[in-house]
Each structure stands twice: as C-alpha cells, then as structure tokens.
Amino acid sequence: MTARFEISSEPLVVDDVTQKVVSRNAGAITVFIGTVRELTKGKKTVSLEYEAYPAMAIKMFEQIEREMHEKWPEAQLAITHRVGKLDITDIAVVIAVSSPHRKIAYEANEFAIDRIKQIVPIWKKEHWEDGTEWIGDQLENVPYRAGAPKEELDD
C-alpha cells in the first residue's frame, strides 16, 4: 500500500488519496480539497508556489493522525500536499477521512486541516500581477513553545 502521507510535486488526483481510507467498516468518507482561488482579500492571485520541508511535514502528518486517533479511534486518515507552482483551481491539498459514521468523518477532517495549518512546515508564495510574497502570519512574534503555533485565520 502506498504511504498515507505524501508531499508531491505532481498534480494531485483526489481519488488516489480517497482510496487509501476505503474500508469495509467505513460508512462515510469525507474529502477536503484545498484549491487555489483567484481572489484573497480582494487581491488577484496569478499563481502560487508551495515549498515544504518534506521529512518533517510527513512526521507532522503522522502526529496529526495520532492526535486524531486519540479523539476518534475508528477514523482513518490520508493526506497529500502538493509542492511547486500551482495555477488557479489547482489542488494544493487533499485530506481523506473514513469512519463508520459520518459525524466523525466531518469533525476529524476539519481537525486535520486546522492542524495542518498550525504545525506542518509548508509555505505558500503568492504571485500577484505586481509582485510576490511568502505568506505566513506576518504578525507572529512568539516562537513555538509547548503548544501549537497560532492558527492562521485567513481561510
């Protein structure tokens, strides 16, 4: 079986990620597909670039899985995050969660994307018509201590 957590420089295929969580005991699979949108806070994105620290990103995906299993032992998780240059509507991340019951599949999936935005070392560079910028919490001024970094609230 393919690894359930991946960083990929190739276009993502949603079904490849979903297949990893299919189970005879799953009545529900939720999939989150993060896509590149054109407008953020009124500014027009031309393209995006994602960079990752792959070895650590995979470890953080595994940590998210452990945290998820503490809350929802029956849920199964698979995540692939894209790196490289992406155009509008391209897929940046796919998260698939299966569970016997649907409520947990929604909750665990949303938990996973929230935690990805907190602890997984991946960076996005916006390319606008008039320039570029590495996105992050520009106001962040407290280094990571015991807990998680502050959550990004921009999407």
Could you say whether residue 137 binds another protein (CB under 8 A)?
Answer: yes
What residue 121 binds from another protein, a copy of itself, none (CB within 5 to 8 A, per partner kind)? another protein
Q: Give me the amino acid identity at 137.
A: D
Give me the DSSP letters along 104-122: HHHHHHHHHHHHHHHHS-E
Instruction: Find tokens 């079904």 and name the residue.
Output: 15
CA torsion sign, 50 to 53 to 59 to 63?
Answer: negative
Rounded distance, CA 42 to CA 21, Å?
A: 37
Nearer to another protein, 2 or 63 (CB): 63
Out of 11, 43, 56, 101, which residue is the one contacting another protein (CB under 8 A)?
A: 56
Contact mark string toward another protein, 74..103, x via CB under 8 A: -------x----------xx----------
Residue 140, token pair as written in the block: 């962040």
Does residue number 128 form part of the binding site for another protein (CB under 8 A)? no
Footprint of another protein on this chain (CB under 8 A)? 34, 50-53, 55-57, 59, 81, 92-93, 113, 116-125, 134-138, 140-145, 149, 152
